[in-house]
Every structure is written in C-alpha cells, then in structure tokens.
C-alpha cells in the first residue's frame, strides 16, 4: 500500500512538474508572441541591433537611456536616471507617456497585467 | 508603386502596357476620352531597402511577406509620417534601385496587331523594368518616394511616381496624430492601405498580359497629373483631400508620361478611412471619391467628358506572431460618365452617359514571412455601347477573372542575408479570364474572334531590390 501510495504521489508530482514545465513553456511562448506583436516592429532582441527603438537585449537591470550606439533617445529618457527594474518596466509598458513624460515611444501601452508580467519575465531571460 | 500605371485614355482596354503607345497611335483620338479605359498593367510595387537602412527595421516590419507593397500598420504609419522616421543615426542615403524580370506565356498566341513591338506573339522573357528611387528622409519633416523607371519592354525612361511629403507627428486631444501634405503625380499613390488602384493586388503583372478591363478615373491618371493632398491621421480616422490638375503636353513629353488632354478645372480627390490596429490584427473600412473633367482635344473646349467616382473598400490583416499571416482586401468603385465630347463632338459613343462598376477582392496567406499565396478576383462591368466598345460582340466592356500567385521571399527579415541592403522575391502568377470585353469571346486586334480564356496568362517573375 505504501509502495502504491508513494508511486501515486510520485506520478502526481511528475505530472505536476510536467504541467508546470508545460505551463512555463506556454507562458514563454505567449510572451515571445507578445513581444513580436507589441514590440518587435521597433525593437530587436539582437545585441547591438537598434531599430526605431533600442535593442531590448539585456534591458532588465540596464540604466534607462544608455544603449551606447542608439541615437534616438528623447531628452526625457536620457535624463530619466532610473534602472529598468521589473517594476519600472511594468509601469512603462502599461503607460509609457505617464511613466516617462516627454518620451518618444509612440505606444498606447499594454493594459493586460498578466501579459506584461509574462513579457517582462521573457525579457529577463534575454541577457 | 506600380511602374507604368500611366493612364492612356485612348487605348482599348485590351491593350497591355507595352502596347499602349502603339494602341494610342493606332486608335488616336478616335476613342476619345470615353474610355478612361486604360487598365492597370505592369503594376510593380516595391519594398525599398533605403527605408530599411534609414529606420533600422527589416522589410518585414513594414511589409506583409517581407516585400512590398502590402503594408503592416507600422509601414502605414511610416508612410503617413512622411517617410522620415529613422533609427536616429545620420548619414543615410535615400537611394534605392530595383529590377524586375519576368517570363510570360499566354494560353494562345496574341494577334499580330496586338503583339508587342520587338517581341514574339507568345512566350516572352523580358527585363520589364529597372528603377532608381529617391526614397527616404530629405529633411527633418520632409521625405520622398520618387521613382524613375526604365521600361525594358517599351524601352523608355519615365518619371514613374512622385510623392514628396511634409509631415509632422503631434498630439491632438491626447491622441498620437499625424498631419501632412503630399505633392504627387497619381491619385491613390498617397494611400496607406492596399485597397485602391495604386497599391492593391496584384503587385506586379506582365506587360504582355491582357489586363483587367476598363479602369475608373481615380486609377487612370498616373503621371498625367499633379496634385496637392493634405491629410490627417487622428486616432482611428484617416482623412485626405487632394486637388489635381493636368500636366502640360510639354511636361508629360519631357517626363515620358501620358498626356491626358486639357483638364477642366481642378480635379478633387477625397479619402476617408477608419483604421483600427489591435496589434495582432487590424482592419479598416474606407470611402474614396474623385471627380474630373477632361477636354480630350485641348483646342476644342466646346464639350468635355466628365467622370465621377465613388468607392468603398476595406481590409483585414491577421498578423499574430507574424509566422502565419492572413489578409483580405476588397474594393468597389462606381463611375458615372458624361461623354459630352466623345458622344457630342466625336460621335463615337451611342449614349452621352454611362457607368462603370469595378470590383476587386484578394485574400492572402504568408508563412514565416517567406512563402506567400494570394488569390484575387477582378470584375468590371460597364454600360453597353457598341460604338465605344467595338471589340465586343455585345457592345459591353465587362471583364472578369481571377489571379492566383505563389511567391518566395527568402530575405527581408531581421537576420536575413543581405539585410538591409537587398531583398528578393521569386513568384509565379496565373491570370484566368471568365469574360473579356463582354463575353467569353471578343474581337482581337486582327479582327478575329478570340476567346477570353485565350488570354489566360502565366508569369514567372524575379524581383530584386537594393
């Protein structure tokens, strides 16, 4: 009985882990799609590849307005003086104009909090 | 960006682009302006690497399928913004070039009189066109799309398209907005959507094809007019109003474009659209209108021919993660014609008034921004007039058919070879006719009966832009 019980627990754990892994993979997939849909026209994830906006590779933990070879920053972004933390990114992606008044990014914002969280988690993996 | 969409008001609708000059000579003023019958042929539209170099964006950011001219919302805004957006770096040169080669085979050899000069009656390879572009940012708020084209079929160089813009982005009532003004030589060239004459499917077609039937005024004036079009994008509303006037015979001669005759006063053009961009998908519905009066013979202003166009159009794009893209585009234009000159002076129309109805529909699927397939439907219906449409057994210009295209665009993505310096599309296009000039058969240039399906056309094309 004990053996059967342990086996059942192990199976449940394994299924749970598999489910969790699958869920994370699904979230990552959704986040990658969100990046393409919401950000990809203007931003690249390739290091050093700047488009209308700077590369977002390594954005989490980076000081705002400091991508060396990107020349399109607004004065507001150059002088923002903060670091792109998860919380700052969340605020900025939700309401760019409110987070950085005077910024150049023409984006209305992503209102879905879960989608923002997934997106920022995805960006966090792009070191 | 079609090359050679010049209107030839004097040709029969079955005259292909390369044959238009010959047709004009053959038909002369006989047909009068009655037919702003010139069909859109040899339409070639382009993704321009100079824009990609300027913005740092890949071709796929602006274009469905990573090749022009089908615009994504990002591309639409770039255009409405006056072609001036950059990645912030200086030193970009707003020059591009492209070449389009094709091989065309029709179901049956064309009539001797309809054969393109210097070419065979069938199975023709051609360097259809080679263009250079002044395309990009000229000043902070001034940009351009100017195309100079050498036609390898007609063997002439012409000012193909001109769109010079001033535009400014601003905030109106808290909404990102754009105001601008365009100086241009073609109504609908300025439009940011892919539903009106200049920019809709097919984006290229053969000079050796039979065309798509008569065209309304709004898409038949390219190169023969110049206009000023102020426009506005406010939230989801796009509005544009233009006034066009005809270019003189001397100017069109110098530019190698087609002289329309004397234009009767300014020709107003209007465009209103509702555009909703939901990122993963977007849609628009729009209205268009144009009015124009022409004196086909500038020395005779006793009577004119006038044309009034009203149109409705719409498009839907599902973009998702850009790996599976679906689009649908459709348009309907109704033209009312008053042929005071053609009927009253020339006596070459039975009736003083007439109508033309044009329908277009196209749906496309693109996989991985590389492989594309498009199926389109074209149909034109017009008033019967045995004098105007002598090539028709029924006196009707009605023409309809379908276009199927598959294409391969290996470059144009962020990590593509050659990006942002080069782009390439290889495609195969088939045009099938159900009706041509009123029925399943008509009278060809030699005076013989020819079946509509004899004009079915297969074109293999290679399109390169740098």
Provide the whole-model pTM: 0.89
CATH code: domain A24-125 is 1.10.760.10
- Phi, psi for B322 (deg, rounded to 5): 75, 5
- B165 by Cβ neighbours in 10 Å (0-12 / 13-18 / 19+) ranks as buried
| Residue B28: predicted pLDDT | 30
Chain centroid to Cα B283, Å, comes to: 21
Q: What is the pLDDT of residue B19?
A: 38
User: Both tokens of residue B252?
Assistant: 């069109």
Q: CB distance from A55 to chain B under 8 Å?
A: no
Roughly what angle, to the nearest 10 degrees, separates helices A86-94 and A113-124?
Answer: 130
Mutation site for B-interface testing, chosen from A32, A36, A41 by largest number of B Cβ within 10 Å: A41
- Torsions phi, psi of B143, nearest 5? -140, 175
Contact residues on chain B for A46, CB-CB shorter than 8 A:
414-415
Is residue B331 within 8 A of residue B311, CB to CB? The reply is yes
Q: Is A109 in the B-facing interface, judged by CB distances under 8 Å? A: no
ipTM: 0.81
What is the mean pLDDT of each successive set of 10 residues along chain A, which is 127 residues long? 49 50 65 95 93 95 94 93 96 94 91 95 94
Task: Determine contact: A127 vs chain B, CB below 8 A.
Answer: no
Domain ranges of chain A: 24-125
Contact B414, A44 (CB under 8 A): yes
Quote the pLDDT of residue B396: 97
So what's the pLDDT on residue B421? Answer: 85
Cβ separation B319–A37 shorter than 8 A: yes
Please count the CA atoms within 13 angstroms of the CA of B24 that sit on its side-chain side: 17
Q: Report long-range pairs for B243-246 (Cβ below 8 Å, ≥24 apart).
A: B243/B267, B243/B268, B243/B269, B244/B187, B244/B268, B244/B269, B244/B292, B246/B294
Best B56, B176, B317 residue to mutate vs chain A (most A CBs within 10 Å): B56
Q: Is A58 on the interface with B (CB under 8 A)?
A: no
- Rounded to 10 deg, the angle between the A113-124 and A2-34 helix axes is 90
pLDDT of residue B37: 41
Q: Do B61 and A51 touch (CB under 8 A)?
A: yes
Q: Mutate which of A30, A32, A51, A101 to test chain B, going by most B C-beta atoms within 10 A? A: A51
Residue B136 CB coordination number (10 Å) = 24
Cβ <8 Å between A42 and B415:
no
pLDDT value for B159:
95
Q: Which residues of chain B have pLDDT under 70?
A: 1-47
**Chain A neighbors of B57, CB-CB under 8 A:** 41-42, 51-52
Q: What is the largest CA-CA distance in chain A?
A: 70
């Amino acid at each position: 009985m004990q053996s059967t019980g342990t086996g059942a627990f192990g199976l449940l754990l394994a299924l749970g882990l598999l489910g969790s892994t699958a869920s994370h993979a699904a979230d990552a997939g959704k986040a990658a799609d969100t990046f393409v849909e919401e950000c990809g026209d203007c931003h690249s994830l390739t290091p050093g590849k700047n488009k209308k906006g700077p590369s977002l590779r390594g954005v989490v933990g980076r000081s705002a307005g400091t991508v060396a070879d990107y020349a399109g920053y607004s004065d507001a972004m150059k002088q923002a003086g903060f670091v792109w933390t998860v919380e700052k990114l969340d605020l900025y992606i939700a309401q760019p104009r409110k987070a950085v008044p005077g910024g150049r990014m023409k984006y209305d914002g992503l209102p879905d909090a879960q989608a923002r969280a997934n997106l920022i988690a995805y960006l966090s993996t792009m070191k | 960006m079609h090359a050679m969409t010049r209107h030839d008001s004097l040709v029969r609708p079955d005259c292909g682009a390369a044959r238009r000059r010959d047709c004009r000579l053959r038909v002369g003023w006989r047909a009068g302006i009655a037919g702003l019958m010139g069909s859109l042929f040899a339409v070639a539209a382009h993704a321009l690497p100079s824009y990609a170099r300027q913005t740092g964006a890949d071709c796929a950011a602006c274009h469905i399928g990573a090749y022009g001219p089908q615009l994504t919302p990002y591309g639409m805004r770039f255009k409405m913004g006056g072609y001036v957006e950059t990645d912030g770096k200086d030193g970009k040169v707003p020059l591009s070039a492209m070449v389009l080669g094709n091989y065309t085979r029709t179901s049956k050899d064309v009539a001797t009189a309809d054969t393109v000069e210097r070419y065979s009656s069938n199975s023709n390879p051609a360097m259809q066109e080679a263009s250079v572009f002044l395309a990009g940012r000229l000043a902070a708020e001034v940009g351009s799309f100017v195309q100079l084209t050498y036609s390898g079929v007609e063997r002439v160089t012409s000012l193909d398209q001109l769109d010079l813009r001033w535009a400014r982005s601003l905030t109106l009532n808290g909404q990102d907005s754009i105001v601008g003004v365009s100086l241009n030589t073609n109504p609908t060239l300025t439009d940011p959507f892919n539903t009106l004459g200049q920019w809709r499917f097919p984006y290229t077609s053969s000079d050796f094809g039979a065309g798509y039937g008569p065209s309304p005024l709004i898409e038949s004036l390219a190169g023969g007019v110049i206009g000023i079009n102020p426009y506005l994008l406010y939230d989801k509303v796009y509005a544009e109003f233009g006034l066009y006037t005809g270019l003189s015979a001397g100017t069109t001669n110098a530019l190698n474009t087609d002289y329309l005759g004397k234009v009767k006063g300014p020709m107003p053009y209007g465009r209103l659209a509702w555009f909703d961009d939901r990122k993963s998908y977007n849609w628009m519905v729009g209205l268009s209108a144009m009015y124009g009066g022409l004196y086909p013979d500038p020395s005779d202003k006793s009577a004119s021919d006038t044309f009034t166009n009203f149109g409705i159009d719409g498009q839907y794009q599902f973009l998702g993660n850009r790996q599976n893209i679906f689009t649908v585009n459709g348009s309907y234009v109704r033209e009312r014609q008053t042929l005071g000159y053609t009927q009253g002076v020339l006596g070459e129309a039975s009736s003083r008034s007439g109508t033309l109805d044009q329908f277009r529909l196209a749906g496309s699927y693109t996989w991985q921004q590389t492989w594309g397939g498009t199926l389109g439907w074209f149909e034109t219906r017009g008033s019967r007039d045995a004098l105007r449409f002598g090539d028709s057994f029924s006196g009707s210009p009605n023409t309809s058919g379908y276009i199927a295209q598959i294409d391969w665009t290996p470059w144009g993505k962020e990590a593509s070879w050659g990006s942002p310096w080069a782009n390439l599309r290889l495609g195969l296009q088939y045009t099938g006719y159900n009706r041509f000039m009123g029925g399943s058969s008509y009278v060809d240039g030699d005076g013989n009966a020819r079946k509509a399906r004899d004009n079915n056309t297969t074109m293999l094309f290679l399109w390169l832009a740098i």
